[in-house]
Amino acid sequence: MNGFLLSFYTAQNRTYQGQMISEWLLSVAKQMNLRGATVLAGMEGVDHQGLFHSASFLSWPIDPYKFSLR
């Protein structure tokens, strides 16, 4: 099998050019005719500074997202 899988993480509240980052990435994936794109909401994780984060009602706008592009 040949191909690639690009995964990266960001916060739910991130925007790019006034558009939610998840919507923007999915539209770019479609424009590039990628085989697939997946957005997953993270429940818990550790950030680049080693700080622990978990999803809760109070932290909703900064919950982590994982993007996988194929």
For the stretch 20-65, pLDDT in tens is: 988 998 999 999 998 888 888 877 777 778 887 776 656 555 677 8
Whole-number pLDDT of residue 53: 72
Structure tokens at 29: 């994936």
Contact assessment for residue 3 and residue 68, using Cβ atoms and an 8 Å cutoff: no
Pairing of strands 44-46, 37-41: unpaired
- What is the rounded CA–CA span in Å between residue 28 and residue 9? 16
Q: What is the mean pLDDT of the chain?
A: 82
Contact assessment for residue 59 and residue 51, using Cβ atoms and an 8 Å cutoff: no
Q: What is the rounded average pLDDT of the residues 66-70?
A: 82
Contact assessment for residue 68 and residue 61, using Cβ atoms and an 8 Å cutoff: no
Whole-number pLDDT of residue 19: 93
Q: pLDDT by residue (tens digit) across 3-16?
A: 888 888 888 888 99
